[in-house]
Structure 1
Amino acid sequence: MLACARLSALGLLLALCRGRGEDGGDSCDNFTDLDLSHCFLGTSLYVRLLLYTRANPACGRELHHRRFPSEPLFNLSRPTAFVVHGYRPTGAPPVWIDRLVRLLAEGRDLNVVVVDWNRGAANLNYLAAVAYTREAAHNLTAFIRAMQDEGASLGSVHLIGVSLGAHLAGFVGANLKGKIGRITGLDPAGPLFTSATPDERLDPSDAIFVDVLHTDMDSFGLRGAHGHIDFYANGGADQPGCPKTIFAGKSYFVCDHQRSMLLYLCALNRTCSLTAYPCASYADFLDGRCLQCEAFKPASCPQLGYDIIQWRESLLRLGQTKVFFSTTASQPYKKLNYKVDMVTWNQYLRWGVVYIRLHSGRNVTEVRVDHKLLRFEQFTSTRLLAQFDEDLPHVHKISLRINTGNVIGPRYKIRVLQIRLTPLERPERPPMCRFDIIMEENTEVAFRPLSCDSRP
């Protein structure tokens, strides 16, 4: 693969890329690399299986469907993760494939098998690629059955399907009567699957455990819930940092869809800790109505990534669960969530949005809670979800502003009887409080946070 070529270019021994070539010598077996001419002409399905392990994380060894037991690196007593790509309109290898394989192979004692069906997926005619998913699924099903005949457990099989590959993985699971251990669907493809029945797409019955991540439901991704747990990043549609106009070119079309893989890679690399909250909708999540996870064991909110499996028993007991989280535009993607509880008193009804700044030394992070207008009147209790882009561990000052948009006439005063900020993902940090603040609308007031036990 490309990683092997880089190592060779650096002068390292080609022996690091151990794999049998057709001539019997040592070489890497690479992902099929096609070009636009193949896509224009169309390709017929041909499935290759490329093995990676801790012993060869950067160099694939092609597995032969009938002679694979003779491959010494393919240890059937280990769990096996199959990586299934999706539609390839340009014919080039997926840009994420090397990194995903390395993170899986180096981080865990696994057989990582890349299901290379680029010959078949590389077609300008998307309908042809969709049609090939069934045939490719039968091919992979036969291989997994052969593994089972050699002593492998279906429960130790994990399929990671990307876009169209998520449905291909679902077809394999259905062929095996839902007995494989796990399927992960990364933004399952939407076109031609929007009105599909459960047996025509990925669904929870395809494996013992199915987890799904949504990032582009309003375009290339599939709407709805299709796993035992469905993660919705930023509501599952538009992603921060992605272009909003067609003038951005290709990125406008693919950025949201590709974000699913970027988030999953970041979670696998343990540089992102993306906590999600069970809720009926993203709007309810932003309203701060869904910030509890007592129903889960362990007693914490689920996190995106490979290790979601530790919440499996709770999720199987709870049934299909939707969980929501928000991200920043770039790595490490994580926002720091605060639950903010306010009790206000003011003589006249006001509607507005809330700005909160946290100060730590010279560092400042700000959030604008403006997804809807908030109501402030006599003795109003308001709960907010404040999502900050930066984690400031030692907050010495908080600034608060309630913007009502009133630019004509007198500024009315608002009395904040109590404000309490509780960090949701930092249980070791105590909540911060302040009591009895008099402020004018549209005017920022700053104060030093106090212990919530210090109320006079």
Structure 2
Amino acid sequence: MFHYCLLALLGTSCMWDTGSAEECASFTDLDLHHAIAGTSLDVRLLLYTRANITNITNICAHELNHLNPFSQPELNASRPTAFIIHGFRPTGSPPGWYELLARLLLERDDLNVIVVDWNRGAANINYFIAVKNTRKVADNMTAFILKMEEHGTPLSAFHLIGVSLGAHISGFIGTKLNGSIGRITALDPAGPEFTGKPPDSRLDPTDAQFVDVIHTDMDALGFRKPLGHIDYYPNGGGDQPGCPRTILAGSAYFKCDHQRSVYLFMNSINRTCDLIAYPCESYSDFLDGKCLECDKFSGEGCPWLGYDATKWKDTLVKRGQTKTYFSTNNWSPFCKTGYRVDIVTWNSETRWGFLTLKLHSKDQEIETRIDHKAAEFKLYTKQSLLAQFDRDLQPVERVSISFSTGNGLKPRYKLRVLRISLTPLHGRTSLCRYDLVLEESKEVTFRPIPCENSNF
């Protein structure tokens, strides 16, 4: 049967398609008054299935009985089950993303999606009380999962998606179940009170058969060190593009970086574009173009971020722990387009500087500046750089390039280019050009030659 229920902002009434009424379960909605006064822990489990979602505005949850979960007929033991576990709620408000995440999961796969509402217990201005409650939430959920296992759901069919404190709750559950849980996805695991703790006091790779972690606020609310079989560090894992940099932005200053992990993961579910992550020792090495040879990582290339990371599960589990890096835009779907730029120069003296590239099609252009640090151009020595554009552009009909040293006090130099190639990081033909002279701060435009038709 289908259920019709307006989103929380429109109300909570819900109707059976036969015309009989049934109430939709709503996430606990508290306010700052509750957080100041403190709340006693209460764990509620809200079930979403495909039967609950009829169109873009209709979604309805049903609350599950902890002791008798299958008294709710829509909970199906033969389906995989995904739990969504939120974190600290200092103002008591519901997470603004949980219903969208539930919807995206259900649009992708036929699942039991269970939102773990522990807002009473997470809503407290005293963060340390919320941290203390994480163990109790884990005990509650472990008992519930064992009930489902008794009814035939294998532990390998559970996917725990934990945000902030919810990531460590997932780890505690995994520990109690001896690492038999199928997968834990940790979205910017909380750092305060967990950094420096031993593995049994936080998330770690042994807590599930596969643990993937996205770090987006490691320099503030998140956890810095690797915690999973694969750890993703978008934009280096700290400041995220588009997030405010001053406290004048209000609450967004505190939560934007931290929550970016959730939006990156949601973006990966519907696969508007694939965020490809590059195994690397550091973000600096990635920006230097040192980690772009994905064919050396596995037969499947470099791993994607997010929902489909399980495609690389065997390789990643075998490797132990893998750190990956990539850059994003500041808006959804977040994907950048990358090129490896290989340059051989023939200046007799070494030159240091920065490049600006433009790609032109018939009536559009995209531009980027490679300014991570000054590049070194030595005689007859290939220099490889990473150029990242905010969007893709095809076909590339012309390329513009300019060179600068960044020092206006020195004489203007020329960079004599013997050959240059632009190789798309994923598919398509490399573009080449020979014999260019770049006068500092003067743009040169040319029509590239497909490298496969040249001697490069």
Partner of 1:350: 351
Note if contact 2:245-2:253 (Cα within 8 Å) is conserved in structure 1: yes
Superposed counterparts of 1:418-429, under 5 Å = 418-425=419-426, 427=427, 429=428
Partner of 1:444: 443
Cα deviations by residue, 1:217-270 (Å, 9 ceiling, x for unpaired) = 000000010000001110000001111112211111111111111111111122
Query: In 2, distance between residues paired with 1:434 and 1:84?
Result: 52
1:377, distance to aligned residue in structure 2 (A): 2.7
1:295, distance to aligned residue in structure 2 (A): 4.6
Question: How many residues were matched structurally?
Answer: 447
| Greater displacement, 24-33 / 387-396 | 24-33
Q: TM-score, normalised on structure 1?
A: 0.94
Partner of 1:255: 256
Partner of 1:132: 133
Amino acid at match of 1:403: S
Runs of 4+ in 1 over 6 A off after TM superposition: 10-13
Amino acid at match of 2:28: T
CA gap of 1:8–1:399, structure 2 versus 1, over 3 A, is closer
Report whether the alignment pairs 1:28 with 2:24.
Answer: yes
CA gap of 1:444–1:86, structure 2 versus 1, over 3 A, is same
Note if contact 1:51-1:74 (Cα within 8 Å) is conserved in structure 2: yes
1:346, distance to aligned residue in structure 2 (A): 0.8
| Greater displacement, 197-206 / 370-379 | 370-379
Amino acid at match of 1:29: A
Partner of 1:21: none
Partner of 2:56: none
Superposed counterparts of 1:85-96, under 5 Å = 85-96=86-97
Query: In 2, distance between residues paired with 1:295 and 1:437?
Result: 32
Report whether the alignment pairs 1:189 with 2:190.
Answer: yes
Superposed counterparts of 1:216-255, under 5 Å = 216-255=217-256
Partner of 1:48: 44
Partner of 1:38: 34
1:444, distance to aligned residue in structure 2 (A): 1.4
Superposed counterparts of 1:261-276, under 5 Å = 261-276=262-277
Report whether the alignment pairs 1:77 with 2:78.
Answer: yes
Superposed counterparts of 1:340-379, under 5 Å = 340-379=341-380
Query: In 2, distance between residues paired with 1:337 and 1:228?
Result: 26
Note if contact 2:6-2:60 (Cα within 8 Å) is conserved in structure 1: no
Note if contact 2:85-2:161 (Cα within 8 Å) is conserved in structure 1: yes
Q: Secondary structure at the match of 2:99?
A: helix
1:453, distance to aligned residue in structure 2 (A): 3.4
CA gap of 1:264–1:8, structure 2 versus 1, over 3 A, is closer
1:347, distance to aligned residue in structure 2 (A): 2.5
CA gap of 1:333–1:175, structure 2 versus 1, over 3 A, is same
Cα deviations by residue, 1:388-447 (Å, 9 ceiling, x for unpaired) = 01200111111111111343564332211111111112x1x1110001112212221111
Note if contact 2:229-2:321 (Cα within 8 Å) is conserved in structure 1: yes
Q: CA RMSD in A?
A: 2.1
Q: Secondary structure at the match of 2:340?
A: strand
Query: In 1, distance between residues paired with 2:282 and 2:67?
Result: 47
| Greater displacement, 244-253 / 117-126 | 244-253
Superposed counterparts of 1:49-448, under 5 Å = 49-57=45-53, 58-408=59-409, 410-425=411-426, 427=427, 429-448=428-447
Q: Secondary structure at the match of 2:50?
A: coil
| Greater displacement, 89-98 / 295-304 | 295-304
Note if contact 1:186-1:212 (Cα within 8 Å) is conserved in structure 2: yes
Query: In 1, distance between residues paired with 2:246 and 2:305?
Result: 29
Note if contact 1:272-1:331 (Cα within 8 Å) is conserved in structure 2: no
Between the aligned residues of both structures, percent identity stands at: 55
CA gap of 1:450–1:145, structure 2 versus 1, over 3 A, is same
CA gap of 1:7–1:220, structure 2 versus 1, over 3 A, is closer
Cα deviations by residue, 1:266-295 (Å, 9 ceiling, x for unpaired) = 111222321111101100000100012235
Q: TM-score, normalised on structure 2?
A: 0.94
Query: In 2, distance between residues paired with 1:9 and 1:144?
Result: 32
Cα deviations by residue, 1:352-396 (Å, 9 ceiling, x for unpaired) = 111111111221111111111111232231000110012001111
Query: In 1, distance between residues paired with 2:18 and 2:97?
Result: 19
Note if contact 1:85-1:115 (Cα within 8 Å) is conserved in structure 2: yes
Note if contact 1:15-1:27 (Cα within 8 Å) is conserved in structure 2: no
Query: In 2, distance between residues paired with 1:245 and 1:126?
Result: 23
